[in-house]
Structure 1
Amino acid sequence: MRQPRVRPGRGVCECRQTSCGAATARQPSGDDDDVNGAALSNRENTTVASLDVALKNAMSIDGAIGVALVDYNSGMTLGVAGGTGEIDLTVAAAGNTDVVRAKMRTLEMLKIEDEIEDILITLGGQYHLIRPLTGRTGKGLFLYLMVSKSRANLAMARHQLRTIEESLEL
């Protein structure tokens, strides 16, 4: 069964599945071969591979429960890995778009000319890290990482998430 695709910025879900089960966003191109399963261009293959590697690397962080790449303008999840039966990462990630938007608006109202490194939400048994992407191609996106509070080192998780963001090519 074919997976829907995502048309970024249009709010129409059309994603592809990668080998780790992470949906990745891509723009439809003229070279798609829809009859035979949509051929990907080299750039799209690189993006899919980069996102796949980034999600796998995030899941290797001590205590990682799940990770997602999210478009905070549309609330769409562009990639996801991990998760548990009780937690729908797609719903959690989409819900955190409101958190990111609110913080962006607050910085704007306060006329603070700085970028958010990360947003931390501390629960009884988990840390939820939200890291807006700062690279030119990552504007409007954030990484959302859930880690077990008892198994994770928060400082290392933040450092590793920053490293993953820097290596991500979109």
Structure 2
Amino acid sequence: MLSEQQTIQILADLGASMPGFIAAALVDLDSGMTIGMYSKNDGFDLSAASAYNSEMVKQKRKIMAALNLDMQLEDMLITLTDQIHLIRLVSPTSFVYLAADRSQANLAIVRAGMARYNDALAA
């Protein structure tokens, strides 16, 4: 398992490589607690967003079970007027939550950036 410092460094590298990056966190799915986080915007409350997003992932898994969908959840996309939010599961018990500015990034850029760092964050 990654240390908090290792996680922060990987997220900072992700942020440096992605246009429009706002913030990202590696989140423990069960507790909703951040394992590590990095933000270019001090006003973006990653702790609160991580906790709420963990509930959303849990609910989506319940929906999938209710529909008897025998497949894995990979990611969830939330598009806002000015931002893209991507939740990508990196292990059965953790996910990365990332926010980017839509004027500088698009879904392809966000997914490509996440794919580049997925294995490192799953360690």
Q: Tell me if TM exceeds 0.5.
A: yes
Amino acid at match of 1:59: G
Q: Deviations over 1:10-29 (max 9, x none)?
A: xxxxxxxxxxxxxxxxxxxx
Q: Deviations over 1:69-99 (max 9, x none)?
A: 1111111111100152332111111111111
Which residue does 2:97 correspond to in 1?
Answer: 144
- 1:101 is displaced (CA, Å) by 0.6
Max Rg structure:
1
User: In 2, distance between residues paired with 1:79 and 1:50?
Assistant: 8
- 1:157 is displaced (CA, Å) by 1.0
Identify the match of residue 96 of structure 1 among 45, 53, 58: 53
Which residue does 2:7 correspond to in 1?
Answer: 51
Which residue does 1:166 correspond to in 2?
Answer: 119
Give the number of the structure with larger relative contact order, counting CA–CA contacts within 8 Å between residues 6 or more apart. Answer: 2
Say if 1:71 and 1:142, in contact at 8 Å, map to a contact too. yes
After TM superposition, list the pairs within 5 Å mapping 1:12-161 onto structure 2.
Answer: 47-48=2-3, 50-60=6-16, 61-133=18-90, 138-161=91-114
What is the root-mean-square deviation of aligned Cα atoms in Å?
A: 1.7
Say if 1:65 and 1:147, in contact at 8 Å, map to a contact too. yes
Say if 2:84 and 2:106, in contact at 8 Å, map to a contact too. no
Distance 1:112 1:120, change over 3 A: same
User: In 1, distance between residues paired with 2:74 and 2:13?
Assistant: 19
Number of aligned residue pairs: give it. 121
Amino acid at match of 1:86: G
Distance 1:169 1:121, change over 3 A: closer
SS of the equivalent of 1:168 reads helix
Q: Deviations over 1:25-59 (max 9, x none)?
A: xxxxxxxxxxxxxxxxxxx7xx2364234212221
**Structure 1 or 2: larger strand share?**
2
- 1:106 is displaced (CA, Å) by 0.9
User: In 1, distance between residues paired with 2:9 and 2:69?
Assistant: 34
Say if 1:66 and 1:82, in contact at 8 Å, map to a contact too. yes
- 1:117 is displaced (CA, Å) by 1.8
Distance 1:154 1:169, change over 3 A: closer
